[in-house]
Chain A
Amino acid sequence: MPHNTVAVVGAAETTKLGVIPDMSQIQLHADAALNAMADCGLKPRDIDGVATAGETPVQIAHYLGITPTWVDGTSVGGCSFMIHVRHAAAAIEAGLAKTILVTHGESGRSGIGRGQRPVPASSLNGQFEQPFGPMGPPSLFPIPVLRYMKTYGVTHEQIAMVSVVQREWAAKNPRATFRDPITVEDVLGSRMIAYPFRLLQCCLVTDGGGALILTSADRAKDFPTKPVYILGTGESVETPMVSQMESFTSSRAFSVAGPTAFREAGITHKDVDHLMIYDAFAHLPLYGLEDLGFVPRGEAGRFIAERNTAIGGKLPLNTNGGGLSYMHSGMYGMYALQESVRQMRGSAPAQIPGAKISVCHGVGGMFAASGTIIFSNQKP
């Protein structure tokens, strides 16, 4: 059954994106939340549900002066916000809350008001991965790539095109951090980080935030904004350790979350006008395109290299420039959701004319978790 009964009525990012040294992490949440409330004409007293990650819902509710009847602190990495939207839609349908605020804020670059998250030496990751020299996502996330490349004969040049195409999208976006064009040669000539990936295949590290406000579709007409309906949702998790993925050529979490959302929405791939796939690193759009069924196994590299996801292509992908060029605070999922909402409202800097359905797919951890949301601007 499609949801059809819940809509996003408020959506906003922080006033500034990029380097924000004068704002702590919780204030980034609040700045985005206040912008989202202003977007749809609500006050904190109108909100009765709070979902967030990074900070706890307790901190966010108290800081904003909200008395919730429902909270969700699901924190599974950057796709937590997709999963919050899914849980919020279910909560609204179940009558647990009427108006839910989902917030994200992260002082990823400046580190203001942000705790460190060391890996405990007694955890499974601490015992069975950390001793072998990883240092955060740039060293761990690309681990599966060489196996994927060998299995399907994907080339370095094809994967480099992910970064090139997304930079072209970013050039149309005044809020994107990096907007200057790059070539395959630039990507393959940039500093090596963790072979096979180089600097231009790794996401930015920036400060920012975003917030969404959801309510029932029948209330959506009372708001000044164009409603964006939730058609379908999916979520899953796999493993906290990238070394323990079932397969290095496919994400099990993607393969559960994506198809679940498509079934719930009752749509086919041909219906999709716009796609966001969380791109912390350049291989994620490849895995996403294949695990969500947009292209056959092993075809995603060629699909992107042949510019099918570029400006004017048949499947516009990561139209804000993505985590590779737009911004990436650490948990990027909220920015992918914001771009889907902008596309459905018709207000994106690189607007896809006439787009009616947007699929927004997120990853958490190093292929640890996944959430997928399918939006539409058409009243079901």
Chain B
Amino acid sequence: MPEPGRALPQPTPETKHFWDGTQAGELRLQRCDECSHTYFPPRPFCPKCASRKVSVFAASGRAILDTYVIHHRKVPGFVPPYAIAVVKLAEGPRMMTNIVECAQTPEALQLDMPLEVVFEKQTDTITLPLFRPAKG
């Protein structure tokens, strides 16, 4: 028996565009057509003004490291210590993620450091958006 991997998302009709996006190499957000509010997580209406007129668009993938913990306990699919991070996307919303291609230490993980999205395939149907220190 292989070791169990990390927990994986099960997309719903309202979130399918996001998970289709990560498979296609896009970080897809939603923006309200009426009030221009950009939001996450996905839903088919604007959480600010309740309009159902919203559009999906590909975000830049740029973000800064907003906050994190470095988790020291064993979790399936992870080798401790590893950071559980929240990034603030250039477009405004925050999302939880992991920081890759970076030492998982307080010294390496500086708040407000610029990051960029990378897509890590987990299965034939699920690809996760992770972030690494920005290169450009």
Contacts and interface: CB of A to CB of B under 8 A. Distances in A.
Interface of A: 119-122, 124, 126-135, 138-140, 142-147, 150, 191-197, 241, 243-244, 248
Nearest to A134: B84
A143 B68 CA distance: 5
B71 A139 contact: yes
Interface in B72-128: 72-73, 75, 77-78, 81-82, 84-86, 94-98, 106, 111, 128
A306 B94 CA distance: 35
B134 interface: no
A131 B85 CA distance: 12
Contact of A127 (B10, B72, B97): B10
Contacts of B10: 120-122, 126-127
B3 to A, nearest CB: 14
A122 to B, nearest CB: 4
B72 to A, nearest CB: 5
Kindly list the 9 A-B residue pairs having the minimum CB-CB distance in the complex, ordered from nearest.
A127-B9, A195-B70, A121-B10, A147-B67, A194-B69, A243-B96, A122-B10, A130-B7, A133-B78
Contact of B72 (A121, A145, A192, A248): A192
A128 B95 contact: yes
Given A193-B73, A194-B72, A131 B67 contact: no
Nearest to B98: A132
Given A127-B10, A146-B111, A194-B73, 12 more contacts: A121-B9, A127-B41, A128-B95, A131-B6, A131-B7, A139-B69, A142-B69, A144-B67, A147-B111, A194-B69, A195-B72, A248-B67
A194 B70 contact: yes
Interface string B30-54: 0000000000110000000000000
A129 B95 CA distance: 8
Contacts of B81: 192, 195
Contacts of B128: 131-132
B95 A143 contact: no
Nearest to A141: B69
Contacts of A244: 40-41, 94
17 contacts: A121-B9, A130-B7, A132-B85, A133-B71, A135-B71, A139-B69, A139-B73, A143-B86, A145-B67, A145-B69, A146-B68, A146-B111, A150-B111, A191-B72, A193-B71, A195-B106, A244-B94
Contacts of B82: 133
Q: Which DSSP category, helix, strand, loop or mixed, fits chain B's interface?
A: loop
Given A127-B15, A139-B84, A143-B84, A243 B94 contact: yes
B8 interface: yes
Contact of A133 (B6, B12, B66): B6
A219 B97 CA distance: 55
Contact of B9 (A126, A135, A147): A126
Contact of A131 (B8, B15, B72, B111): B8
Contacts of A146: 67-69, 111
A135 to B, nearest CB: 5
B95 A243 contact: yes
A196 B71 CA distance: 9
Nearest to A127: B9
A298 to B, nearest CB: 16
A147 B41 CA distance: 21
A193 B67 contact: no
B75 to A, nearest CB: 5
Nearest to A151: B111
Interface string B1-21: 000001111111001000100
B69 A143 contact: yes
A132 B83 CA distance: 9
A117 to B, nearest CB: 14
A133 B8 CA distance: 10
B108 to A, nearest CB: 12
Contacts of B6: 131-133
A241 B86 CA distance: 11
A319 to B, nearest CB: 29
A129 B77 CA distance: 14
Contacts of B67: 143-147, 248
A143 B12 CA distance: 26
A278 B129 CA distance: 34
